[in-house]
């Protein structure tokens, strides 16, 4: 008798947040499949044959699910596979695992990483009913560890430092490298430039959502988010210059939390100086990139901006990025290092007129300037933690 696979038609598009209720299981033996089928009966259940590797592959193109149950038996290094899974799994999806390991330390490690539950094989219907079902389908969201998406704030120490260019291209390269879902949030509601640079028109609703959290439900994202490509979504606005905006801290928190449920990374183009209402964005950021050019103005402001970020979010969040480093007429490196009190954490050289051409063409510079990808790569590595210790990466991905 083979595993009874439900027939699944992949959705055309990622469906609305409110309709995501699929429970997807990838298991390799028929006993587990039967136990899950009976124990999770009544839910929108899909059982497929496979392991965690198949689950990761599916999530690269299909994230229309609320729960994932998958098998890690026989996998040599389950933590590496989990890391891959975490890279593409929306943060609000509850993940349960089934495997052969019965050691309590293994169980604890998985729980620490944000896995909802782990059951050693063989599993039974009653194990699923008693131990999995309440955690996966019951209302246990409050007890979950914080698995919100990773927020990266980009702020320019001086006008024209390249904040918007870096935010856009970083968002694209993060998605390309990790295959994760990335939101690009432009908090310059008046004359924001992300949409212009991408040749797109902002969707409606961001201003209202930021002003009044009661007005932003999960459908807000469907309206306000404009797809840049299948992984990257732009959330921006184009309010009149004379509009009286009344952005509230509660609105900012709410929008950020909606985005963090849905996206693995949220790259924010942050206005400077920060209005107090957007402090939650800085506070929630894992990385705040302070951009400057090799100019006196940039140096002076970078120092003040770093201090402001440190006061709001803590010292370990701030990274100084020197942009257009070798630009003709700029201050010499030694002067910059002296004024900053340290080497900049990240450096991007002047990449020539192609960068400005890309702006005028309304296309991402990544597609137009060949060197940009190489210079963004170390920044992407710093943010994703690829190459760093396994556990810390999971901690960073799944909880702040
Ligand atoms: N590394 C670089 N090399 C060459 N040109 C660059 C580089 N980075 C940014 N630019 C160019 O500098 C100009 C300003 O960039 P951008 O608009 O991204 O800066 P900004 O900090 O967002 O400015 P604003 O203060 O107006 O928001 C653009 O024409 C952009 O293409
Ligand atoms: Mg800008």
pLDDT for the residue 6 = 35
* Closest atom of ligand 1 relative to the 168 alpha carbon: 18
Ligand of minimum distance to the alpha carbon of 197: 1
DSSP string across 191-247: S--HHHHHT--PPS-HHHHHH-GGG--THHHHHHEEESSSSEEEE---B-TT-----
Structural domains of the chain, with CATH: 17-143 (3.40.50.2300), 150-387 (3.40.50.300)
Residue list, ligand 1 pocket, CB within 6 Å: 156, 159-165, 193, 323-324, 348, 350-352, 355-356, 359
pLDDT computed for residue 391 by the predictor: 41
* Ligand 1 atom with least separation from CA of 165: 18
Task: Please list the pLDDT of the chain residue by residue as tens digits (400 residues).
Answer: 333 333 333 333 444 444 578 999 999 998 899 889 888 988 899 999 999 999 999 999 999 999 999 999 999 999 999 999 999 999 999 999 999 999 988 998 999 889 999 999 988 887 888 889 989 987 443 334 456 899 999 999 999 999 999 999 999 999 999 999 999 999 999 989 999 999 999 988 999 999 988 877 778 888 899 999 999 999 999 999 999 999 999 999 999 999 999 999 999 999 999 999 999 999 999 899 999 999 999 999 998 999 999 999 877 788 999 999 988 899 998 999 998 888 898 999 999 999 999 999 999 999 999 999 999 999 998 888 654 444 444 444 444 3
- CA of 314 from ligand 1 middle (Å) equals 27
pLDDT of residue 390: 42
Distances (CA, A) of 203 to 184, 190, 261: 13, 14, 20
d(CA 289, CA 317): 8
CA of 220 to the centre of ligand 1 (A): 30
CA 283 to ligand 2 center in whole angstroms: 21
What is the distance in A from the centroid of ligand 2 to the CA of 181? 22
The tens digit of pLDDT for each residue in 142-200 reads 334 456 899 999 999 999 999 999 999 999 999 999 999 999 999 999 989 999 999 99
**Ligand 1 atom at minimum distance from 324 CA:** 1
Question: Radius of gyration of the chain from Cα atoms?
Answer: 23
Q: Which atom of ligand 1 is nearest to the CA of 158?
A: 25
Ligand 1, atom nearest to 291 Cα: 21
The pLDDT assigned to 19 comes to 56
Taking alpha carbons only, the member of 209, 218, 216, 219 closest to residue 277 is 209
Residues in contact with 223: Cβ distance below 8 Å, sequence separation at least 6, in sequence order: 203, 204, 205
Q: Which of 154, 197, 355, 379 to mutate to test the pocket of ligand 1 (most atoms within 8 A of CB)?
A: 355
3-state DSSP assignment of residue 98: strand
Full-model pTM: 0.71
3-state secondary structure of 47: strand
If one counts every other C-beta atom within 10 angstroms of the C-beta of residue 229, the result is 12
Query: Tell me, what's the pLDDT at 221?
Result: 85
CB-side neighbour CA atoms (13 Å) of 341: 6
Give me ligand 1 centre to Cα 263, in Å: 26
Reported as a single tens digit per residue, the pLDDT across 322-344 is 999 988 899 998 999 998 888 89
Separation of 298 CA from ligand 1 center, angstroms? 13
CA dihedral of 80, 143, 223, 89, whole degrees rounded to 10: 10
Q: Are 289 and 272 in contact (CB under 8 A)?
A: no
Give the DSSP per-residue string, 260-292: HHH-SEEEEE--SSPPGGGHHHHHHEEEEEEEE
């Amino acid at each position: 008798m083979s595993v009874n696979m439900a027939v699944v038609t992949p959705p055309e598009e990622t469906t609305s947040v409110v309709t995501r209720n699929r429970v997807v299981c990838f298991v390799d033996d028929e006993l587990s499949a039967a136990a899950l089928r009976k124990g999770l009966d009544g839910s929108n259940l899909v059982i497929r044959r496979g392991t965690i590797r198949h689950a990761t592959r599916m999530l690269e193109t299909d994230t229309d699910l609320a729960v994932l149950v998958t098998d890690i038996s026989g996998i040599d290094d389950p933590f590496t596979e989990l890391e891959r899974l975490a890279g593409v799994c929306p943060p609000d999806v509850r993940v349960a695992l089934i495997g052969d390991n019965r050691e309590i330390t293994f169980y604890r490690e998985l729980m620490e990483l944000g896995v909802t539950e782990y059951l050693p094989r063989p599993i039974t219907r009653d194990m699923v009913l008693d131990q999995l079902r309440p955690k996966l389908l019951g209302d246990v969201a409050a007890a979950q560890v914080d698995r919100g998406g990773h927020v990266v704030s980009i702020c320019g120490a001086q006008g024209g430092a390249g904040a918007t260019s870096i935010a856009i291209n970083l968002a694209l390269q993060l998605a390309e490298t990790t295959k994760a879902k990335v939101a690009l949030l432009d908090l310059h509601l008046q004359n924001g430039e992300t949409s212009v640079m991408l040749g797109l028109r902002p969707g409606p609703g961001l201003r209202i959502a930021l002003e009044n959290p009661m007005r932003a439900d999960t459908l807000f994202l469907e309206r306000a988010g404009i797809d840049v490509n299948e992984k990257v979504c732009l959330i921006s606005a184009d309010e009149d210059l004379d509009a009286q905006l009344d952005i509230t801290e509660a609105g900012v928190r709410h929008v950020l939390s909606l985005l963090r449920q849905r996206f693995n990374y949220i790259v924010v183009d942050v206005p400077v100086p920060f209005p107090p209402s957007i402090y939650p964005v800085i506070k929630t950021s894992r990385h705040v990139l302070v951009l400057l050019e090799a100019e006196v103005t940039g140096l002076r402001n970078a120092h003040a901006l770093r201090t402001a970020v440190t006061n709001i979010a803590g010292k370990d969040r701030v990274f100084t990025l020197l942009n257009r480093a070798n630009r003709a007429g700029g201050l010499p490196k030694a002067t910059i290092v002296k004024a900053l009190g340290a080497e900049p954490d990240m450096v991007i050289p002047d990449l020539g007129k192609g960068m400005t051409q890309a702006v005028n063409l309304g296309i991402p510079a990544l597609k137009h300037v060949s060197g940009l990808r190489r210079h963004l790569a170390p920044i992407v590595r710093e943010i994703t933690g690829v190459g760093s210790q396994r556990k810390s990466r999971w901690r960073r991905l799944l909880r702040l």
